[in-house]
Amino acid sequence: MPEYVILVHPSANRVYAASSPALLRAELAIFGAALSAELSGIEEVELGGVGYVRFTSSSALGEADLALLSNLSSLYALFELGDGVLRPVTVTPLAKADSDLLTILKYAGKTNESFTKLLLNVTLLATADPFSAKPKYLLDPLCGRGTTLNQAIMYGLHATGLDVDAKDFEAYEAFIKTWLRNKRVKHTADSGQLRRNKVRLGRRLDIEYALSKEDYKAGETRKLTYFQADTLTTDEVLRANSCDVIVTDAPYGVQHGSHREAGLQRSPRDLLAAAVPVWTRVLRPGGALGISWNTTVLPREELVEVLRKAGLDVREGGPWAEFTHRVDQAILRDLVVAVKPAS
């Protein structure tokens, strides 16, 4: 059976780089369920003093399987291993835009771009036809300065974000408008007040764009929306069952999340207990919700219970339970994915 090795993408973040091989193993196992070939023997190996992730395939990887695996979050290069020789395998990642869309913005508390891609990947893989040609609708209801929104652009998805922080809204508006202009991307942009039933909820930014002139002329555009609003108003500003995936990095215990009713809520436990049912209402049946969070302030079993009470089916066991990793001394990050039943 063919053997392959993956060279892990180098990371500027030393702590995340140390975790990347283990995270890649778990992500690869979840990708494996969507492939026509069966993967086995996923492990870390060292070849010539360099670390790789090795796996065995039940048959040679075909074009469709390679297209899927090309999107692994930490994949830097893929090789077929035979007779002690590494033969490069061409990969075709689904990157619709230049990578600087993800890397230009630098700020304290920014989620690692590779981890954001991993979280989006495994959430998409919990849905039917995860990387279909028909663009899905993504929501990040705690979007901050838009790392998840930018990854959605990279994948050609429609994207909506909510965040209550006015400074984050203004920073993202300035960044994305400048990026689109500098890249000469055909687009329209409109911003203004966000109101529902004559009540001002915040502000909104609406962008419609196409990354090629041909797509723009043909009407093959994507929509990007940012609401500067309380995440607990998600079901007021979006239609029920309108999102295919919800992907968010929850507060780690030091950031805000919601201003509604009781004032500023700093507890991820309180925030998620209140927000998950709201988010679930805008998730379509068969859609998936992926959350990353700090397990030192909210045990996994408590978050799983919140998701189940909202009527979601949680993916558990096997590789789904192998994403815990250290961010710093106070943050032990994990992720959980849950699916809204189709009926």
Q: Which of 99, 80, 96, 98 is nearest to 88 (CA)?
A: 80
- Given pLDDT bands bounded at 50, 70 and 90, which one contains residue 15? confident
Residues in the chain, total? 343
pLDDT for 163 = 96
Residue 262 is predicted with a pLDDT of 44
What number is the average pLDDT over the span 121-138?
94
As a whole number of angstroms, the distance between CA 268 and CA 255 comes to 9
In the predicted structure, residue 263 carries a pLDDT above the cut 70: no
Give the model's pLDDT for residue 255.
44
Q: What is the pTM of this model?
A: 0.94
Give residue 84's pLDDT: 82
Q: According to the model, what pLDDT value does residue 266 have?
A: 53
Phi, psi for 235 (deg, rounded to 5): -80, -5
- Which residues face 52 on adjacent strands? 7, 45
Q: What pLDDT score does 97 carry?
A: 93
Q: How far is CA 328 from CA 8, 116, 140, 300, 322, in A?
A: 21, 17, 24, 18, 18
DSSP E strands in the chain: the ranges are: 3-8, 39-47, 50-57, 75-82, 85-89, 137-140, 158-163, 186-196, 199-210, 222-228, 243-249, 283-294, 313-314, 325-328, 331-339
To the nearest whole number, what is the mean pLDDT of the chain? 92
Alpha-carbon gap, residue 179 to 185, rounded angstroms: 8
Which residue shows structure tokens 């700093």? 266
